[in-house]
Structure 1
Amino acid sequence: MRQAGRNAGKIGPLDGFSAGPASRQASAQLTVATPGQGFSDITEAVAEFVARSEIRTGLVSVFCRHTSASLTIQENADPDVRVDLMTALDGFAPRHGQYVHGMEGPDDMPAHIRTMLTDSGLTVPIRDGRLALGTWQGIYLIEHRDRGHRREIVLHAVGA
């Protein structure tokens, strides 16, 4: 009997393999003023942080300190993708669902659900002192509330 996942695909050679101790780390906080529900591209700010850290090889952690906003890595070429993603999130967690929690308004509980569906933290590899994102990838803060907020993003890079 064949094992699940066995021979499912071939792994190519390890490109640019390196090893060594993590000898450097850096951290900072990024504040993002959101205009309300939608995507805010924070790729450039995270890339600037990585450049200033002087880490050539490692990882950067991006963490959103809120339960009604989240982070994602998503396509950065066609803005229609982000429109469609917001429409999909509206379907998963409609604004006026029958929620028990409503202390902070009708947009709060759907915001918590949307954060759970996306994520509060991301990790991105650093290669040659730059974010190792794909060609069409960007890092986005997603505001799930109707009105704008000031969101705190904690950045932490570790490597050499």
Structure 2
Amino acid sequence: MHSKEIEIRTGSHEVVRDISRECERFLADAAAGDGLLHVWVPHATAGLAIIETGAGSDDDLLTALRRLLPPEEPWRHRHGSPGHGRDHVLPALLPPYATVPVLAGQLALGTWQSVCLVDTNRDNPVRRVRLSFLSGG
């Protein structure tokens, strides 16, 4: 298994950050063939989504998360900025992992799909992401 941890800057606002290019670079560096790419976010307040970006779906996802997990709720988990408790619930809806098939070294995503880091936590501007390639042969 080939594995590497990368850093992604998400800044101080909610974001759906496409990390597909970073995944593709990792696969190229690993000289990947057929297998599986496992993406893991070792944070209690971030998740991953396979979603279309650039056509509004990324903003729609953040809007839906604000409706499902409103920042102004009286969350019991209270450290950090106001509404931070919801950030700790996010990974129950958007898990901190994703596995994508890899064929001939390329992500086998659908036409409009991207691998995205979803971060609603304004208190943590830098995230770690672990990429692991498991060869199929």
The bucket for the TM-score relative to the shorter chain is over 0.9
What's the offset of the Cα at 1:82? 1.1
2:22 is equivalent to residue 85 of structure 1: no
SS at the partner of 2:72?
coil
Question: Aligned equivalents of 1:77 and 1:103: distance in 2?
Answer: 33
What's the offset of the Cα at 1:146? 2.7
Question: Aligned equivalents of 1:67 and 1:147: distance in 2?
Answer: 12
Aligned to 2:16: 39
Larger radius of gyration: 1
- Give the aligned CA root-mean-square deviation in angstroms: 1.3
SS at the partner of 2:121?
strand
Question: Aligned equivalents of 1:120 and 1:107: distance in 2?
Answer: 20
What's the offset of the Cα at 1:143? 1.1
Question: Hey, which bits of structure 1, 4+ residues long, moved more than 3 A?
Answer: none
Aligned to 1:68: 45
SS at the partner of 1:113?
helix
Q: TM-score, normalised by structure 1?
A: 0.80
Does the 8 Å CA contact 1:107/1:145 hold for their aligned counterparts?
no
Does the 8 Å CA contact 1:34/1:149 hold for their aligned counterparts?
yes
Q: Where in structure 2 are there 5+ consecutive unaligned residues?
A: none
Q: Where in structure 1 are there 5+ consecutive unaligned residues?
A: 1-24
Question: Aligned equivalents of 2:53 and 2:125: distance in 1?
Answer: 23
Question: Aligned equivalents of 1:158 and 1:125: distance in 2?
Answer: 10
How many aligned positions are there? 135
Question: Aligned equivalents of 1:89 and 1:126: distance in 2?
Answer: 29
Does the 8 Å CA contact 1:42/1:140 hold for their aligned counterparts?
yes
Aligned to 1:96: 72
Aligned to 1:53: 30
Does the 8 Å CA contact 1:33/1:148 hold for their aligned counterparts?
no
Does the 8 Å CA contact 1:37/1:148 hold for their aligned counterparts?
no
